[in-house]
Amino acid sequence: MNKKDLKWLYLDFNSYFATIEQQINPSIREKPVAIVPTLTDYTCAIAASYEAKKIGIKTGTMIYQAKKLCPNLICIKADHEKYIAYHHKLIEEINRHLPIENICSIDEVVCKLIGIECNPKKAVSIATSIKSGILKNVGDYISCSIGISVNRFLAKTASNLQKPNGLKILYKEDVPNRIKHLKLSDLTGIGKRMEYRLNLANIRTISSLYQLSPKNMRKIWGSVQGERFWNMLKGNEVDEITTKTSTIGHSHVLHPDWRKPYLAKYILRRLVLKAASRLRRKAYFCKKIKIYIKIKSGQYLEGKKKFNKLNDSITLLEKSDIIWEEMINSYKLKKIKQISVILYDLELLESSQTNFLTLLNPQTEQSLQKRNSLSNTMDDINARFGRDSITIGNLPKSMNEFSGTKVAFTRIPDIKEFYE
């Protein structure tokens, strides 16, 4: 292979959520915009437009702090179904120019270059045509930054070199000089914890990171992942690690009016029902449930239970209610800021159903089958007529504060989730 041949094209949509809102509503273009889970000053931005980022507002900035930096900040409640709809339009457009190898997140995709596409001039031509196609066929305000390189890691890194609306090629021999101005945490795979471990080893720059041997990098990482990272940084091709679903969960930051425990419990139950519905749709059992509660001080409290394999809503609600009451009484909680529900220790339904039922006595088996049947019927009705058309227990009329399905940047929900 010619040393100038390239292998990967990485595309990153700029300030995706905010840009989609600006695409739909031209009156807020070129203005500071923050996307929020709920319209209150006591939440944080889940996304920010480039105009807001220039002022110092970023993902995670509390809105009351953001408004001090920018009194004219425009806050928009997130509409995740809309973002997914545009995501699919963008995927369709990109595939017209180059087959997508992998959808990395709601706003990032990677494409493999083959044959003549590996030629730098041809690769740039394809990238330019993708940008033009998006502007023409999807949205005239939607921009993306594209990085092209010899492996996925460096292509992703190249996409960060020029934002917004960038297009950069990064050759193997360009590293580390062309990326030495970046922070360690700008590299994919280096989060706060890993940056701390690197700092302890007196590694504070990309240049010093590049000088490490594979052995030392493995020692710092504490696993073979260190050697993988060394190879990626050097421009070598590394096979992607495939992962399987290990947890199913949902989280919700509570509106100030919903932070008393007796009201927050409605949100907890709603999150459990949603997670249980997803569990069934993906054909899993779970054997454990965990609840996290975040309080005003920022501290996280945890409660959990384990049980035989379950996936029906009724039993999971019973388990979560027990955990909730134990936590509220034990910690004497008065205000709750955030709730997270996680179903874990998962097992595929098809691989465990037969053995599972034979372990139960006839009465328990009959009760479980009824609960499973009822849960599946609820899923069907809610899918047809809309979320909460039928549910377990009463929900307050003001439950519309519950913002429903959200898009985690690394997980794109199925459209069905918006009806769970």
Higher-confidence residue of 364 and 297: namely: 297
- Burial level of 365, CB count in 10 A (0-12/13-18/19+)? middle
pLDDT band at 396 (very low <50, low <70, confident <90, very high): low
Least confident of 134-138, 155-159, 250-254, 320-324: 250-254
Beta-bridge partner residues of 105: 108
Least confident of 11-15, 101-105, 349-353: 349-353
What is the pLDDT of the chain when averaged over all its residues? 88
Residue 50 has pLDDT above 90, yes or no: yes
Place of tokens 């360690």: 184
Domain range summary for the chain, segments of one domain joined by +: 1-172, 175-238, 247-419
Tell which residue, 131, 172, 129, 121, has the closest CA to residue 149. Answer: 172
Is the domain spanning 1-172 CATH 3.20.20.70? The answer is no
Q: Does domain 175-238 have CATH number 2.40.10.10?
A: no
Distance CA 397, CA 263 (A): 12
Q: Span 97-110, mean pLDDT?
A: 94
Q: What is the pLDDT of residue 3?
A: 53
User: Closest by alpha carbon to 8, among 101, 86, 144?
Assistant: 101
pLDDT in tens, 332-391: 999 999 999 999 999 987 654 444 444 445 555 566 677 777 777 776 776 666 656 666
Q: From CA 168, how far away is CA 127, in angstroms rounded?
A: 10
pLDDT at 420: 53
Q: Is the per-residue pLDDT at 415 higher than 80? A: no
pLDDT at residue 55, rounded to an integer: 96
What is the end-to-end Cα distance of the chain in Å, rounded?
A: 50
**pLDDT reported for residue 389:** 63
Fold of the 247-419 domain: Dna Ligase; domain 1 (3.30.1490)
Mean pLDDT across the stretch 268-296? 93
- Percent of the chain beyond pLDDT 70? 84
Reported as a pLDDT band with limits 50, 70 and 90, residue 42 is confident
pLDDT in tens, 127-172: 999 999 999 999 999 999 999 999 999 999 999 999 999 999 999 9
pLDDT at 366: 62
Residues 350, 104, 84, 286: is their CA dihedral positive or negative?
A: positive
Sheet with 144-149, strands from edge to edge, namely: 100-105, 108-112, 8-13, 144-149, 167-170
Span 207-248, pLDDT tens digits? 999 999 999 999 999 999 999 999 999 999 988 766 667 899
Could you give the CA distance from residue 236 to residue 229 in angstroms, rounded to a whole number? 10
Task: Please report which confidence band the pLDDT of residue 100 belongs to, taking 50, 70 and 90 as the band edges.
Answer: very high
